[in-house]
């Protein structure tokens, strides 16, 4: 089952909605049930409008990414908000800064457009600054406008907190990275972000707000993940894929059958196989391809009939981080073919890169321990 179907596309950027988003719509409908069916429809409509603002926020990121020539793979809608997934990370701090601030700037623009209408409503100013109008008020267009205004103000204030994965955390890292290395900037931004998370959690506990501690945990863990990812990128950038692909990999010919691949799978740890002829790569057969074939076709078919003919190509001069980014951005598998010019060298997968990262990290830690012992 596809848990995140594409609901529409904007300039070839798929906008996907996780199915759990429907739970949020159901919750909002239930919250407004005291006003009857019209109230329930009002709750759903308000939620949809709020997430339209979230989509515009993410499109702001996408537009800025396009300006600096970074493709956007997709936009995902979740019950807690939206995420724009970039094909690759920004290489320059100023690019990350531009992309990070673009989303909140969209919400500021929406809030400014709505402000004159909010001023004309009879809702108290404190209501449309401190909290969203709830189901205790009668559904009306003034409540709808006030809700949109407050939501956009809250999106700006919350997103600009200096903590990953929020935009404010990325702004903070970009600013620090202008005077320090990317790794140092991530480390500092992570420490600040986790400190912010602790403060948010304590405030939630003191005031009995359950959502704040949960949000704090999410921010704290996300900041740690961002730090780990930054360390991984730094280490993977030190190795070329031409030094890391499997030079002794088993290869197949198009005349081989699936039974032979099964034998290789059972007697070796190799999950992916290159189908070659006259030193030219014709396609790739993965363990998943073989398993799907065995499940759906009892015949012993030729690998030429199940191999993937459309595969990712990378140069042997790519770093492991560049290869990983290329594979993830392609979004059509976990394997890439390594070439030196027109010469096929071998295959490399995300699993291979993860194993290489573990080895590189181990070697680095051993060197650190040896330096400590010597001193």
Structurally, the chain folds into a number of domains equal to: 3
Cβ atoms of 173 and 186 closer than 8 Å = yes
pLDDT of the residue at 120: 64
Residue 284: which H helix or E strand, with range? strand 280-286
Cα separations in angstroms, 183 against 58, 177, 201, 336: 26, 8, 27, 27
pLDDT of the residue at 297: 78
137 phi and psi angles, rounded to 5 deg: -105, 160
DSSP state of 242: G
- Is 280 found in the same domain as 220? no
Residue 86 lies in a domain: yes
Residue 104 lies in a domain: yes
Q: Is 278 exposed, middle or buried (0-12, 13-18, 19+ CB in 10 A)?
A: exposed
Q: Is 372 exposed, middle or buried (0-12, 13-18, 19+ CB in 10 A)?
A: exposed
Domain ends where: 236, 265, 289?
Answer: 236
Tell me which residue has tokens 């005031």. 207
Cβ atoms of 107 and 154 closer than 8 Å = no
Tell me which residue has tokens 């573990």. 358
* Average pLDDT by stretches of 10, the chain with 375 residues: 73 80 76 78 83 88 88 78 78 90 92 80 49 65 81 88 86 90 85 89 85 83 80 78 80 87 84 86 87 83 86 88 81 82 87 81 70 58
Cα separations in angstroms, 143 against 14, 256, 288: 31, 68, 52
Residue 369 lies in a domain: no
- Is 122 found in the same domain as 102? yes
- Is 169 found in the same domain as 63? no
Cβ atoms of 259 and 282 closer than 8 Å = no
User: Residue 289's closest CA among 323, 246, 258?
Assistant: 258
- Is 152 found in the same domain as 18? yes
- Is 331 found in the same domain as 218? no
348: left (phi over 0), alpha (psi -120 to 50) or beta: beta
Residue 345: which H helix or E strand, with range? strand 343-349
Separation of first and last alpha carbons in the chain: 57
pLDDT of the residue at 234: 76
Residue 213 lies in a domain: yes
Range of the domain at 172: 163-236
274: CATH: 3.10.580.10
- Is 141 found in the same domain as 80? yes
Residue 375 lies in a domain: no
Give me the residues paired with residue 347 across strands: 337
Domain ends where: 160, 184, 204?
Answer: 160
- Is 250 found in the same domain as 213? no
User: Residue 84's closest CA among 32, 15, 184?
Assistant: 15
Pairing verdict, β 72-78 and 272-277 = unpaired
Pairing verdict, β 6-10 and 335-340 = unpaired
- Is 265 found in the same domain as 128? no
pLDDT of the residue at 129: 47
Task: Quote the CA–CA distance of 142 and 138 in Å, as a whole number.
Answer: 10
Which tokens belong to 310?
A: 């459309």
User: Residue 143's closest CA among 50, 16, 24?
Assistant: 50
- Is 177 found in the same domain as 248? no
- Is 185 found in the same domain as 69? no
Cα separations in angstroms, 96 against 18, 85, 156, 358: 26, 13, 17, 28
Is the bond preceding 247 in cis, omega lying within 30 degrees of 0?
Answer: no
Domain ends where: 112, 139, 160?
Answer: 160
Give me the residues paired with residue 86 across strands: 72
């Amino acid at each position: 089952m596809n848990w995140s179907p594409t609901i529409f596309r904007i300039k070839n950027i798929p906008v996907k909605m996780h199915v759990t988003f429907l739970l949020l719509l159901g919750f909002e409908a239930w919250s407004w049930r005291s006003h009857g069916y019209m109230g329930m429809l009002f709750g759903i409509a308000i939620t949809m409008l709020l997430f339209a603002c979230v989509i515009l926020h993410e499109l702001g990121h996408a537009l800025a990414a396009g300006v600096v020539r970074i493709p956007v793979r997709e936009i995902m809608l979740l019950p807690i908000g939206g995420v724009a997934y970039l094909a690759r990370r920004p290489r320059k701090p100023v690019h990350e800064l531009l992309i990070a601030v673009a989303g909140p700037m969209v919400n500021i623009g929406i809030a400014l457009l709505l402000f004159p209408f909010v001023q004309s409503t009879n809702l108290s100013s404190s209501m449309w600054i401190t909290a969203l109008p709830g189901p205790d008020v009668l559904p009306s267009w003034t409540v709808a406008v006030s809700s949109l205004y407050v939501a956009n103000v809250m999106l700006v204030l919350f997103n600009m907190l200096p903590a990953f994965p929020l935009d404010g955390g990325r702004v903070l890292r970009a600013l620090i990275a202008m005077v320090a290395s990317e790794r140092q900037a991530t480390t500092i931004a992570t420490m600040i972000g986790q400190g912010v998370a602790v403060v948010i959690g304590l405030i939630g506990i003191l005031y009995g707000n359950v959502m704040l501690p949960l949000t704090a945990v999410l921010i704290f863990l996300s900041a740690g993940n961002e730090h780990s990812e930054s360390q991984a990128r730094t280490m993977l950038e030190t190795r070329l894929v031409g030094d890391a692909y499997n030079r002794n990999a088993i290869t197949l010919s198009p005349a081989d059958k699936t039974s032979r691949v099964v034998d290789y799978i059972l007697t070796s740890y190799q999950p992916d196989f290159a189908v070659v002829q006259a030193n030219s790569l014709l396609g790739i057969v993965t363990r998943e391809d073989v398993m799907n074939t065995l499940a759906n076709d009892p015949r012993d078919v030729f690998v030429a009939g199940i191999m993937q003919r459309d595969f990712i190509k990378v140069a042997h001069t790519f770093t492991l981080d560049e290869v990983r980014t290329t594979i993830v951005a392609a979004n059509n598998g976990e394997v890439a073919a390594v070439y030196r010019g027109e010469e096929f060298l071998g295959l490399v997968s995300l699993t291979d890169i993860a194993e290489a990262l573990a080895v590189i990290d181990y070697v680095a830690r051993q060197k650190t321990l040896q330096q400590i012992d010597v001193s």
